[in-house]
Structure 1
Amino acid sequence: MAVIINSGPKFTPSKTKAKINMVYVTVLTLVATLGGLLFGYDTAVISGAERSVEEYMIKPLGLSSLAHGATISSALIGCIMGGAVSGFFSSRLGRKKSLMLAAFLFFISALGSAYPEFLFFEKGEHSMGLLLAFNFYRILGGIGVGLASAVCPMYIGEIAPAEIRGRLVSLNQFAIIFGMLVVYFVNWGIADGQTIEWINEIGWRYMFLSLTIPAGLFGLLLFLVPETPRYLTIVLKDDEALKILTKINGAERAKEIFAEIKETVEQKKSSIFSFGKKVIIIGILLSVFQQFVGINVALYYAPRIFESMGVAKDASMMQTVVMGLINVVFTVIAIFTVDKWGRKPLLIIGSVGMAIGMFAISIMSYYGIIGIWTLVFIIVYTASFMMSWGPICWVLISEIFPNKIRGGAIAIAVAIQWAANYLISSTYPFMMEFSGAFTYGFYGVMSLVSLFFVWKMVPETKGKSLEEIEGIWKK
């Protein structure tokens, strides 16, 4: 089918100042970011339970470290699936109903992961069937994470005024990190004062079950928020779209934004590459580098990493909480600077910091140095990520794709991001058996490569409307 692009009248970026209803847009953003909180909560809950899952399900079957890594990372298979289908659901059901589906999947996954014996197995039974059931429920939650990871920033990006879009989408990353921090506290609270035997038999179940509370709240609150105006315009619900735009931006600016949206969505396109391949390639590489720098190794295996430094198990849980607090602080720094400094400077600074952290850890691993400096450089690494690639990657993915291809393009980028995440996370135990110095050195090299990628290929989008950004790819 031929690709037809309506070259119609070009809009001129408006100088009309939006009368932003900050209370309303903040409420919508906070509800959407609960999906981000669940994203972080679900992916990090395994950090407290992974040793118990190994003792309860892996070791009794005599399985290898590869099976352990695959089980701990099994939710990522669902994340790949959820990311891949997010474009279909966000385009067919809409952004809001897609998030409702994600909330339902989170809830069911939490129940099933906590009690995988449900219906088919006896409690205390150690079998391959039970292990597969546990992985099934984790994959189900992963599908919810994949949906939320694509649709939450898409929802926020489509309701946010251009002047504060970077800040609002970055709040989703804050929610992800906050969700991780919350579950670190929850895991620590469940394990605190308990015997290892109790944790390995019962405690890990409570860790997964705790996810039902934020999942239920997210599902209920979604009934109170509207669909995004850009999706409503695509499905020809113009009156509803204009009403929401007016409530967010004021009447005069809303009419101008609506006219810009109408111009872009009325263009006829038949391919994801309607605006060229470069924008898709940039989106994919942003996703790949966000994972290849190794961040989720630090997040998923944090207690084990600290234990490998000679820290006691209880203390390693506490140091994981400290790392979570630092992650929150540096994500806040990104929120307050992304719309002032721009996207590219933050990404470049973050790449430099991550490279320094990982190369230092690699050198210390090679020489067998274990001590406070190892913790310091892990913090340097994670802090650099949290003020840059963590939030800014999601900001760019939510805004660089044109309106008509946004759902499908984000689906591709997010699915590949989760595939890269799975590859890096599941191979970590095996790589560490081979060489810790090589493993951390690889993540350091990827940090440097990500720097050159941003410098050469990624455009600056600070302060531009989604429709103005679309103009970059038309040129």
Structure 2
Amino acid sequence: MSQDATTPTVAEHPNTSAVLRISIIAAFGGFLFGYDSAVINGAVSAIQEEFGVSPGPLGFAVASALLGAAAGAFFGGRIADQLGRVPVMKIAAVLFLVSAIGCGVVDSFGWLIFWRIVGGVGVGVASIIAPAYIAEIAPAAVRGRLGSLQQMGIVLGIFVSLAVDAWLAALAGGSTQELWWGLEAWRWMFMAEAVPALAYLIGAFTIPESPRYLVEDGRSDEAQAVLANLQGSASATERVRLIKESLRSEHKPRLSDLKGRMAGLKPIVWVGIGLAALQQFVGINVIFYYSNVLWQSVGFTEADSFTITVITSVTNVAVTIVAIALVERVGRRRLLLIGSTGMALSLGTLSVLFATADVVDGSPVLGPTAGPVALVAANLFVIFFGVSWGPMMWVLLGEMFPNRIRGAALAVAGFVQWIANWLVTVTFPALAAFSLGVAYGLYTFFALVSLLFTLKMVRETTGIELEDMQD
């Protein structure tokens, strides 16, 4: 297709700065995803004290956002196919905003759960839309690095959330103490999320719609203009042609498209489900949702626990930067294999330390040697996860499915990812009360499963255009 008269002349090379800017704004949904998921960490003890709840309901409150996330992930892709990727980002931003305010002013435990679920829907939508959108606008040569920005956003969101939690708690003298306007510090932890939510909403008004959606919506000239600005005119023409060719044999994504010979589903769909579930079953979010309570339970003070948690989140940010640098050079699959091996070893160490610790008043207490070793093992776990399964799962889900099933497959994989997250989060308090050694032994088992799964099921996608992905 030739450019129309209104399309500006564009140099025949990728506009790296424009692609990067758009990808960063899209990945800001990941920042809010991380922020919203982790913000409750600093408030867990205060919520338990404020509402007088037992470990079971407390675990459900922490995990309630994940139920909303599962729903958002499942329906977000289909809504994006109807309305476009960018309008759905705006919807997610509004959900984050109202959830932040709602959680901060609640006067009952039930309403806290409600507003956490509302925010969770925003998390689920953002978790699906950002990697799909980035994959659809990025050139294949840098798609892995740009797709990794989703995970960078997540880990930065976790870091900022935990840092803000620690700052507010220190400022007030504890998470249960009053801070401003007669509201306790834990309430301000939630309401602080309104600031990045507004930034995401504003940013969503400054980025173009996905070229693939525009072509599917009959707006090929707009799609070509977007791609010309991002990748160069000649590349844009060829990309629009490939998108049109792939769409000719397609229809609106539907779940029936996923049917196949392998236990009722296509093999590639099972790979997506496995990646999504195993990323959570290794227990990574126990570190970010419960780390304050965990470290306090084994003998650290509240202040020390906040410090440890922030250090862990900084580590997570640093290794995600390493993953972005390595993804195109090393490849997705090899990074998964390295990560699985390291996670199994570090989680196994934690399991042994907790299982053999002295028990005081029903809780394991780590000694002067075991305590530092546990901290090192926990941070090694975060390092191996952050350089592999953290970003690579999102990169692979955004690019591994053939175009004709991508929307439906992403919905299913995203739903599974959040249900797995919910299962790990809601069961940890009970598992920890029974035995931290058993809890971490279970996560070690799934790390070993992730290694075998990658060896047998995952194939490399580095450098392959989306239109060339096969079942």
* Common topology (TM > 0.5): yes
CA distance in 2: counterparts of 1:313 and 1:153, whole angstroms: 36
Deviations 1:114-139, CA, capped at 9 Å, x for gaps: 0013xxxxxxxxxxxx2111110010
Counterpart amino acid of 2:464? K
Q: 1:18: how far off?
A: 6.8
Partner of 2:342: 353
Q: 1:193: how far off?
A: 4.5
Q: 1:405: how far off?
A: 2.3
Partner of 1:3: none
Partner of 2:115: 137
The answer on whether the counterparts of 1:307 and 1:316 sit within 8 Å (CA) in structure 2 is yes
The one of 64, 67, 73 aligned to 1:74: 64
CA distance in 2: counterparts of 1:319 and 1:135, whole angstroms: 27
Partner of 2:177: 198
The answer on whether the counterparts of 1:191 and 1:199 sit within 8 Å (CA) in structure 2 is no
Partner of 1:27: 21
**Does the alignment pair 1:441 with 2:441?**
yes
Q: 1:374: how far off?
A: 0.3
- Structure-2 change in CA distance of 1:354 and 1:324 (3 Å): same
Q: 1:307: how far off?
A: 1.5
- Structure-2 change in CA distance of 1:399 and 1:18 (3 Å): farther
The answer on whether the counterparts of 1:65 and 1:430 sit within 8 Å (CA) in structure 2 is yes
Q: Percent identity?
A: 39
Partner of 1:366: 355
**Does the alignment pair 1:147 with 2:141?**
no
The one of 192, 210, 225 aligned to 1:243: 225
Gaps of 5+ in 1: 1-16, 118-129
The answer on whether the counterparts of 1:87 and 1:409 sit within 8 Å (CA) in structure 2 is no
The one of 94, 100, 110 aligned to 2:100: 110
CA distance in 2: counterparts of 1:435 and 1:92, whole angstroms: 47
Counterpart amino acid of 1:109? S
* Aligned ranges 1:169-180 → 2 under 5 Å: 169-180=147-158
* Aligned ranges 1:21-100 → 2 under 5 Å: 21-57=15-51, 59=52, 63-100=53-90
Counterpart amino acid of 1:224? T
Q: 1:175: how far off?
A: 0.8
SS at match of 2:334: helix
Q: 1:199: how far off?
A: 5.7
CA distance in 2: counterparts of 1:50 and 1:70, whole angstroms: 11
SS at match of 1:192: helix
Partner of 2:415: 415
Q: 1:308: how far off?
A: 2.5
**Does the alignment pair 1:268 with 2:250?**
yes
The answer on whether the counterparts of 2:224 and 2:236 sit within 8 Å (CA) in structure 1 is yes
SS at match of 2:208: coil
Number of residues of Structure 1 aligned to a counterpart in Structure 2: 439
The one of 135, 154, 158 aligned to 1:157: 135
**Does the alignment pair 1:392 with 2:392?**
yes
- Structure-2 change in CA distance of 1:18 and 1:354 (3 Å): farther
Deviations 1:316-349, CA, capped at 9 Å, x for gaps: 1011111111101100110000011110000000
CA distance in 2: counterparts of 1:295 and 1:408, whole angstroms: 26
The answer on whether the counterparts of 2:258 and 2:408 sit within 8 Å (CA) in structure 1 is no
The answer on whether the counterparts of 1:230 and 1:403 sit within 8 Å (CA) in structure 2 is no
The answer on whether the counterparts of 1:86 and 1:407 sit within 8 Å (CA) in structure 2 is no
The answer on whether the counterparts of 1:191 and 1:203 sit within 8 Å (CA) in structure 2 is yes
SS at match of 1:272: helix
CA distance in 1: counterparts of 2:259 and 2:295, whole angstroms: 48
- Structure-2 change in CA distance of 1:110 and 1:405 (3 Å): same
Counterpart amino acid of 2:351? S
Q: 1:273: how far off?
A: 2.1
Q: Superposition RMSD on alpha carbons, in Å?
A: 1.5
- Structure-2 change in CA distance of 1:18 and 1:389 (3 Å): farther
Q: 1:274: how far off?
A: 6.8
Partner of 1:329: 318
Q: 1:194: how far off?
A: 2.9
CA distance in 1: counterparts of 2:80 and 2:404, whole angstroms: 12
Moved more, 163-172 or 87-96: 87-96
Counterpart amino acid of 1:24? A
SS at match of 1:371: helix
Counterpart amino acid of 2:18? Y
SS at match of 1:140: helix
Q: 1:30: how far off?
A: 1.1
The answer on whether the counterparts of 1:366 and 1:436 sit within 8 Å (CA) in structure 2 is yes
Partner of 1:123: none
Counterpart amino acid of 1:220? I
CA distance in 2: counterparts of 1:185 and 1:169, whole angstroms: 25
The answer on whether the counterparts of 1:19 and 1:249 sit within 8 Å (CA) in structure 2 is yes
- Structure-2 change in CA distance of 1:342 and 1:229 (3 Å): same
TM-score by length of 2: 0.91
Deviations 1:67-96, CA, capped at 9 Å, x for gaps: 110011111111111111112211111111
Q: 1:39: how far off?
A: 0.4
CA distance in 1: counterparts of 2:323 and 2:205, whole angstroms: 30
Partner of 1:301: 290
Q: 1:234: how far off?
A: 1.3
Q: 1:190: how far off?
A: 0.4
TM-score by length of 1: 0.90
CA distance in 2: counterparts of 1:380 and 1:449, whole angstroms: 19
Deviations 1:362-406, CA, capped at 9 Å, x for gaps: 001111044100000000111100000000000000001222322
Partner of 1:10: none
